[in-house]
Amino acid sequence: DAGITQSPRHKVTETGTPVTLRCHQTENHRYMYWYRQDPGHGLRLIHYSYGVKDTDKGEVSDGYSVSRSKTEDFLLTLESATSSQTSVYFCAISRFDMNTEAFFGQGTRLTVV
Amino acid sequence: GQQLNQSPQSMFIQEGEDVSMNCTSSSIFNTWLWYKQDPGEGPVLLIALYKAGELTSNGRLTAQFGITRKDSFLNISASIPSDVGIYFCAGQDGRGGGTYKYIFGTGTRLKVLA
């Protein structure tokens, strides 16, 4: 198994509160990604990082921010959670820029009530 | 956002049957990946393809990188009950700019009837 740990695994939060999800890797991989998975939509990219302090937006980045202060940690923050952000969130990592595989964490199930 | 066209969306098959699924895209990809996801778990990599025309096997699974670089196929031979799950294809978008993102299909949900 790729050394990826997501925390928490499950969270219930109230609308309007900030939430931070953590992805920790032990593989020293350069690229890290946050995806959300919703029925009928598959996996959609929220944000990704190509190095410490280097991040960029994915296709569904509104309402989310990220930070990467260390190679091993990639944080996803919901600045003010909304019910539409109820989803399963996956972190992924990959080694190089091109022609490489991505490995996934086990996911965080977030419910916004 | 961009997604891959993956088909079929779902399939019910009898144990022992062979299974085929595919992904198509309007974009060219440098890498095709196939994943399986079990309930409550993250996707697990099954096969990675890096060259147009490449055919790669992993046990009973065989995947091919289409010659046009716009499609890929996954075949499962002699299905067994533990093949149940959702299968995702993913293409790595290497169109430049130094950003190499993965784009996913919407998944094929496979159910195997014993």
pLDDT, one tens digit per residue, over B55-80 is 999 999 999 999 999 999 999 999 99
Chain B residues close to A25, C-beta within 8 Å: none
- Nearest Cα of chain B lies from the Cα of A91 at a distance, in angstroms, of 9
pLDDT given at position B95: 59
Confidence band, pLDDT 50/70/90 cuts, at residue B30: confident
**Whole-angstrom distance, CA of residue B74 vs CA of residue A22:** 33
Strand partners, A78: A19, A64
Chain B residues close to A50, C-beta within 8 Å: 98-99
pLDDT > 80? residue A17: yes
| Assigned token pair, B40 | 């409550």
Identify which has the larger pLDDT, B1 or B111.
B111
Nearest to A99 among B30, B35, B104 (CB): B30
| Residue found under tokens 């060219």 | B28
The per-residue pLDDT for range A27-85, each reduced to its tens digit, is 999 999 999 999 878 899 999 998 999 999 998 999 999 999 999 999 999 999 999 99
Other Cβ atoms within 10 Å of A47 Cβ, number: 22
Burial-class residue A41 by CB neighbours within 10 Å (0-12, 13-18, 19+).
middle
Q: Is B104–A43 a contact, with Cβ atoms under 8 angstroms apart?
A: yes
Q: Is A98–B30 a contact, with Cβ atoms under 8 angstroms apart?
A: yes
Find residues 31-60 of chain B whose CB sits inside 8 Å of chain A. 31, 33, 35, 40-45, 48, 50
pLDDT given at position B19: 95
pLDDT given at position A11: 97
pLDDT given at position A101: 84
pLDDT > 70? residue B33: yes
Mean pLDDT over the full length of chain B: 90
pLDDT given at position B114: 77
> Is residue A34 within 8 Å of A47, Cβ to Cβ?
yes
Q: Is A43–B44 a contact, with Cβ atoms under 8 angstroms apart?
A: no
> Is residue B17 within 8 Å of B79, Cβ to Cβ?
yes
- Nearest Cα of chain B lies from the Cα of A67 at a distance, in angstroms, of 17
